[in-house]
Structure 1
């Protein structure tokens, strides 16, 4: 299965929830990084980590698909 088919395939409900959480984390991290006020360096670093973790979580969750297990069963 190539990437285009994988992205278009149905995503399980659990991974839809994880994708939403990942997008939220990425948004919060981006907001912390782009804040117009001066924040301590640890908070800005934490914002960067949140953005990366959120992006990876949402990307992996989007590429997870449902499969027909009977098709792959060993007979």
Structure 2
């Protein structure tokens, strides 16, 4: 558990900071689609769910990537 905390708090390379931001944006767009106050077609809602998952995974992986080569 301590290793994960160390990885999350370690410096993140610039490229992965950009990917993290893209992942957050994707998750936000997908969440907006899922929370839309109007009835959307099932296909759009399904795609929104996939976008949320993809954005969340991209954000998590990007956050755990570090510049430390010792691990």
State the TM-score, normalized to the length of structure 2. 0.93
Larger Rg: 1
Cross-structure match for 1:26: 27
Which structure 2 segments of 5+ residues have no match? none
RMSD after superposition: 1.5
- Paired with 2:28 and 2:68, the residues of 1 have a C-alpha distance of 30
Unaligned 5+ segments in structure 1 are: none
Q: Which residue of 1 aligns with 2:42?
A: 41
SS of equivalent to 1:2: helix
- Counterparts of 1:30 and 1:2 in 2: how far apart (Å)? 31
Taking structure 1 as the reference length, the TM-score comes to 0.88
User: What does 1:1-75 correspond to in 2, within 5 Å?
Assistant: 2-68=3-69
Runs of 4+ in 1 over 3 A off after TM superposition: none
